[in-house]
Structure 1
Amino acid sequence: MTPMKEDYLKIIFELGGNRKKVTNKDISLGLGIAAGSVTEMISKMASEGLVNHEPYAGISLTDKGLKYAAELVRKHRLWETFLVDKLQYNSADVHAEAEVLEHNTSDRLATALDSFLGHPRYCPHGGVIPSASGEFTDASHRVLADGKDGEHVELLRFLDNHDLLTYLNECGLTPHESVTIIKHEPFDGPVVIKPDDQDEHINVSYKAAHNVFINEEKQDKE
């Protein structure tokens, strides 16, 4: 399998393609490539049984695609954790390094790395690390942009994209912190939030707010 197809599998996995339909636009934004290129690659992957694709209805992972994706994501996130925790890399800078390392990581090495790190549950960006058998606790796929004004939420994880992570670092945001959504500015403007431990508001851009994942909405008890 080519590295490009692997990148597609990982981004579809990150966007929740194991349990919901994701759009060409979501993949395009996540990978930073043209929508036309996404359409062409998805068609190839569908013919290989890696994804389900219904025109205008979205894209999801098949069982075969999910198996590949979970294995790739496991190795990638283990290396990101190693680079941050053991080599003190900036969390925004580990993606490219992990991309190189994951392609040369055997299952045996991944198991040893997992043990060495103490079996971490999450990567530095808040993503769940699948087990050696491909099992994982499914995370919320609700994004900050879909939160409601006045809602108190937890920032669970960030999409693994260098520019996004650099931007969020500059905003002072980290996974697993709690914030209140103040308001959504109109015309694709930023989402204004207030972290629990700060008095100042932070403007999170429209694009970034679609790549920051928060907890599912709490249902009121009747």
Structure 2
Amino acid sequence: MEKNTETSLIKTTVVNRCFWIILIVSSLVLIFGVLSRFSIFNIWDDAFMFVRYADNLMKYGKLSWNPGMEPSYGLTSILYLIVITPIRILISNNPALTAMLSSMLCGFLFIGLSILLVFKYIKATPTIKYSLVLLTLISLALANEHLSAHFCSGMDTTFAMSYITLYLIIAIAFERSSSLKTGITLGIIGGLAFSVRPDIMLFSYIVPFSIILFAREALTWQG
């Protein structure tokens, strides 16, 4: 009996150590991948478009491409300015660093939200949840070359990725609670998706439709 207990304890210790080793290695791969691209030469030209709009917004109080001119809609993501503008205020003398830090901040936020989505909002045993977290990090680490390019591009891609992940978290929370407050939040976030990137409005339609569809199917099976 004592031998079985000791064997079980050893197995648990080995599994825990493997978990932390894989977690640390995957995280380091992601971090060093991003740091290796931390250069002005990896910023996309279009990223400076957001910085210019942020500058004009701060100086003239309106969204315009040309300083002091009429407002114009030339951005793929208007809401990305809520990230760009504060960083631009803090780093007023370096537009390149502003752009890169904005996309990088959103990129790491995306990773954090992805882990939260997997660990907290998926119904499974703790062991499976930890395994899914590892799988998520390993998948991101394997895609490090392309992922780090977006992290350092200065573009709104990582912002859109974070936004979609947040939307999915709220959608799952609504599916579980069906509370009015969460439903209103889901509707607002879904509607604002157009200002993040018009193409992600697809999620604003598909996710609520799926919730309604599967909820009806569940009621039908129960009936």
Q: Does the alignment reach a TM-score above 0.5?
A: no
Query: Taking CA–CA contacts closer than 8 Å with sequence separation of 6 or more, which of the two structures ends up with the larger relative contact order?
Result: 2
Larger-gyration structure (1/2): 2
What's the TM-score, normalizing by structure 1?
Answer: 0.29
Structure with the bigger percentage of strand: 1
What's the TM-score, normalizing by structure 2?
Answer: 0.29
Structure with the bigger percentage of helix: 2
